Amino acid sequence: MSTTQDFTGYTPTWCPGCGNHGIGMAIKTALIKLNHDPSSLFVVFGIGCSGNMSDFLNAYAINALHGRAIPNAIGAKLANHKMKAIVVAGDGDCYGEGGNHFIHACRGNFDITVIVHDNRVYGLTTGQAAPTAEKGYKSKSTPFGIIEECFNPLAAAISQGATFVAQTFSGDMNHMTKIIQKGILHKGFSLINILQPCITFNKINTFKFYLKNSYKLSEKYNPKDKNKAMEKANELNSIKFPLGVLYKENNRKNYCDYLPQLKNNVLIKNKKFSDCKLLLQDFS
Ligand code: SF4
């Protein structure tokens, strides 16, 4: 069985006290609890403070172009659909630059787990407002306050076809670890939006703010009820943050299930697809 040490890369350079530290530890713990080791999964990182985790987490991993983590994970999944593929990105990267990919990955119900560090700012570039920042939020890039409504990732994912949609908080290690485990185990597109304070550039959405304004879904809550899930997702507009699995659909096929080419084996085991010369013969 792997240990935290096996998944540990370089020492994190995140600001002391940043919510990213907790998320990094929760991901490692969840992977260990699920009996993964660094060679049993593929992780695609976006660009941003969250993407810096590519140096701190020991696994097969790449840093994608800004906003392009999801299509890289989908490509890897098509090449080897038996491999677990995880995306770790920030709210700016995933919902801003990569918003189009995010929506269409939900539609395809691709079997990948997308973990989003939602701190409502672009922390790496010193605090510009990100898509999930609240209307009116003032930052270096929006000195008079944001005019647009904030992007609602939970409602977008549920409405566009994601089959597992959850939210958790980087100040609650146990909850976060359990939700990440559930998301990784899900067959289909899973979104885990993690409320993560950026202590350096976001002085509004702090640990204290989330402790005061979030609540855990009750044990009686039924995540199979799509209308209820949308209702919960829309509570974002009244600044109440539900924590837990908002939506889960078990019986929908994922994208790879529809491909006859993947029925008997993974694509990379097919000599034609792993040898460029053989592949190009078809076009000569
Ligand atoms: Fe964390 Fe913000 Fe520092 Fe980035 S800038 S490491 S998000 S506290």
| Residue with CA at minimum distance from ligand 1 atom 5 | 123
pLDDT at residue 55 greater than cutoff 80:
yes
- List all residues 6 or more positions away from 216 whose beta carbon is below 8 Å from its beta carbon: 175, 242, 243, 244
pLDDT digits (tens, 9 = 90+) for 238-254: 678 999 999 999 999 99
Percentage of the chain beyond pLDDT 70 is 99
φ/ψ of residue 76, rounded to 5: -65, -40
Q: Which atom of ligand 1 is nearest to the CA of 48?
A: 4
| Residue with CA at minimum distance from ligand 1 atom 6 | 14
Mean pLDDT of the chain: 95
Q: Residue 91: pLDDT band by 50, 70, 90 thresholds?
A: very high
pLDDT at residue 110 greater than cutoff 90:
yes
Q: Residue 179: pLDDT band by 50, 70, 90 thresholds?
A: very high
pLDDT digits (tens, 9 = 90+) for 8-27: 999 999 999 999 999 999 99
* C-alpha of residue 200 to centroid of ligand 1, in Å: 6
Which pTM was predicted? Answer: 0.96
Mean pLDDT of 90-106: 98
DSSP E strands in 95-189: the ranges are 113-118, 121-122, 128-129, 164-169
Please tell me the least confidently modeled range out of 109-113, 196-200, 242-246, 271-275.
271-275
pLDDT at residue 111 greater than cutoff 80:
yes
Q: Residue 269: pLDDT band by 50, 70, 90 thresholds?
A: confident
pLDDT at residue 237 greater than cutoff 70:
no
Contact 190, 114 (CB under 8 A): yes
Residue 15 CB less than 6 A away from ligand 1: yes
Mean pLDDT of 131-144: 95
SS3 content of the chain, % helix, strand, coil (to 5): 40, 20, 40
H or E segment to which residue 248 belongs: strand 241-248
